[in-house]
Amino acid sequence: MNTKMAPPIQKNEYIDVVFEDLTHDGAGVAKVNGYPIFVPHGLPEEHAKVKVIKVKKNFAFGRLVELYKESPYRQEAPCPVYKQCGGCQLQHLSYEGQQKAKEKQVRDVMQRIGGLKDVPIHPVLGMEKPWEYRNKAQVPIGDREGGLIAGFYRQGTHDIIDMKKCLIQVEENDKLIQEVKDICAKHGVQAYNEERHKGTLRHVMARYGQVTGEIMLVFITRTEDLPHKSTIMEEIIAKFPNVKSIVQNVNDKRTNVIFGEKTKVLYGSEYIYDYIGNIKFAISARSFYQVNPTQTKVLYDKALEYAELTGNEEVIDAYCGIGTISLFLAQKAKKVYGVEIVPEAIEDAHRNAELNGIANAEFEVGEAEKVIPNWYKQGIKADVIVVDPPRKGCDDALLETIIAMKPERVVYVSCNPATLARDLRVLEDGGFKTREIQPVDMFPQTMHCEAVAVLERK
């Protein structure tokens, strides 16, 4: 389309469209003379009437008015607040349809961004029960008509939608948060008001150990003082005996960041414990721990399979976090070196290695793109390099070091197929061949898709 031409549609116009695709945040994509319009809740192959609500130079936004022809994968969203809440994007698409959409997303970016037309991409590994999988619930607390409300923000706002249940959170966390909200309201605890920077309780967080059944409760407050905290804790523990840790985090700043600097244990331990496979993890209030342990095991089993370890290999785990992948690899490798920029995560990695009696894993704090080149200079030669970077993908310096180190295999665990495709292209140009890619659905009902790729040196 010639971008110098005026858009072919106008604001407030009603138009008939056919949706071709989904955006990365789950909106339907239709085109008018090659000009794209994005419409929430539209699905591929649907014919619809839409109202144009915003027009920009290169694209527009619309609202679904009427469906003439529905997708065979369309379903009624089971959540009563689905259309207001921004947490899920795909509840109106059946789970089979979601998996097809995610596989297509991975295929499209591999071809468009990576130029990888012949790489085998397997069907998505999904969940048997794609609901109630999130083991961490973190909800803002608000005031309404003298009581407290707890829920997620309405899409694009800071208006809290009061909800009794979130269909993708584990039931134990939902029940605990509702009870905590009621107990705090009964004892006169005031919700934080972000406009006036007054009140006490900002957020409540619950973490659940899927295997152990242990629960951690975190109060995030503006003030050091939590009124009636002894009585509140007694009532919570009486109703929820599997709450093994109650923690208070103080955040007195005017900010959208949830956690403050100061954290103190009010009851029980600083940690709860959980397992992924046979590896035990200590989880603190601030630990990074995968929110879907069931699918994390599927993801890591695939990464371990792709690493093809025999017990003689030295392995580098870039972006190792709290050591989750490192400890899986260490069971089959001669030696694992992990690097992570967050000091607290490395402390957790050391603790988790000790917890599992794993002595062949070494961890260092720092940027992967600086630490790994330094290891290379020291003569550490990796047979296998595993990367699990943030959404922005790998740093250029790290990719250059991987190419220079010439490992036998690279296993790339990705939470963003677009940056995965970009980085695979760099590694392919540097002497590696992508053998296969396995998408894994870690976040059903959302557009997020993880993938594991394995590359071999040419």
CB 285 within 8 A of CB 296: no
- Give 49's strand partners: 16, 66
CB 61 within 8 A of CB 47: no
Look at residue 64 and give its three-state secondary structure: strand
Largest CA distance in the chain: 68
DSSP-derived letter for residue 319 is S
DSSP conformation letters of 378-416:
TT---SEEEE---TT---HHHHHHHHHH--SEEEEEES-
CA distance 103 to 123: 6
DSSP-derived letter for residue 134 is B
Select which of 166, 184, 320, 415 is catalytic.
415
CA distance 155 to 168: 17
79 is catalytic: no
Residue 339 is encoded by which pair of tokens? 């690097």
DSSP-derived letter for residue 168 is T
Residue recorded with tokens 């915003």:
54
- 171-199 in b/e form (b: 16+ CB < 10 A) is ebbbebbbebbebbbeeebbbbebeeeeb
Which residues are designated catalytic? 415
